[in-house]
Amino acid sequence: MAKAKRKSEDEPAQHARRRAPEPAGAPLKGRPAWQGHLRLSLVSCPVALYSATTRSQDISFHLLNPATHNRIRLVPTDPDKGPVERSKLVKGYEIAKNEYVVVTNEELESVRLETTRTIDIERFVDASSIDRLFWDQPYFLSPGADSGVEAYDVIRDAMRQADRIALGRVVMHMRERLLAIEARDNGLIATTLRMRNEVLDPAVAFSNIRATKSDRRMIDIAKQIITQLEGPFEPEEFKDRYEEALRELIRRKKRGERPVSAPPPEESNVIDLMDALRKSLRGKSGDTGPKKRGR
């Protein structure tokens, strides 16, 4: 096996450890995704948004030249003029085939909304009133300066006691996004919500599924299977098995060993649905989920 020239690309596990997220309980670090003010009527405080999730431990691959194992660079190229410096590129919106309206950074700056600097709370709602299809990306909404901590605390505690979620707007990544803000521990969680035109109608999506009435006996057995598999949501029990298999593949290749292929999945050709449900209830089909915990 030929060795890659870059050690960091040859050892993804070590690379992932170097980029591991801060341990639980560590204060927020790094550059915030957005900074500005949170405003409730006439009360405001400086805040900052930090991503509440991370993909730093995911395995990522680089494109290499198989002959040299050199990493390939993707160079912006004009089909007529050849390579172009990235710093000279401009933004364009296609209005027709190969016809663009060019927009400068100064012009984009001129149409900035107030939400580029302020999250204005517009409404308070019950969490159950927001369809889960609309929930998107979570962020930590943290105080941006010591001077605004008192106002931040008042807004947080009032929301917690009222048991309501605040709705506001923010401009991030060239788009205005709706935010759902809720109290969590000593801080606030802000989750971006998809806009109405981004969410497809489930009734339309499932319109080609025939409305049929299931056998009552089959439903009863399926409900018993559901009861057997009930338990709390414990995310540490659910690991990315494909990611683990990728790491094992890379470890074996690094040691010069032959990769081990996973066995093909068993084909499931259910002839008698009632019989399959009964066997599942008796546990003959195998355990396919987390162990049931006491309720």
Q: Domain of 150? A: 7-59+110-201
What's residue 21's pLDDT?
38
Q: Residue 11: which CATH number?
A: 2.40.290.10
Tell me the pLDDT tens digit for each residue of 160-211. 999 999 999 998 888 899 999 999 999 999 999 999 999 999 999 999 998 8
CB atoms under 10 Å from CB of 36, counted, come to 20
Domain count, the chain: 2
One domain for residues 249 and 172: no
Question: Which pTM was predicted?
Answer: 0.74
Q: What is the mean pLDDT of residues 141-158?
A: 92
Q: Give Rg (Cα) of the chain.
A: 26
What's residue 14's pLDDT?
37
Distance CA 106, CA 110 (A): 6
Domain boundary pick from 201, 226, 241? 201
One domain for residues 251 and 127: no
Cα→Cα distances 236→137, 140, 239, 240, Å:
20, 21, 7, 10
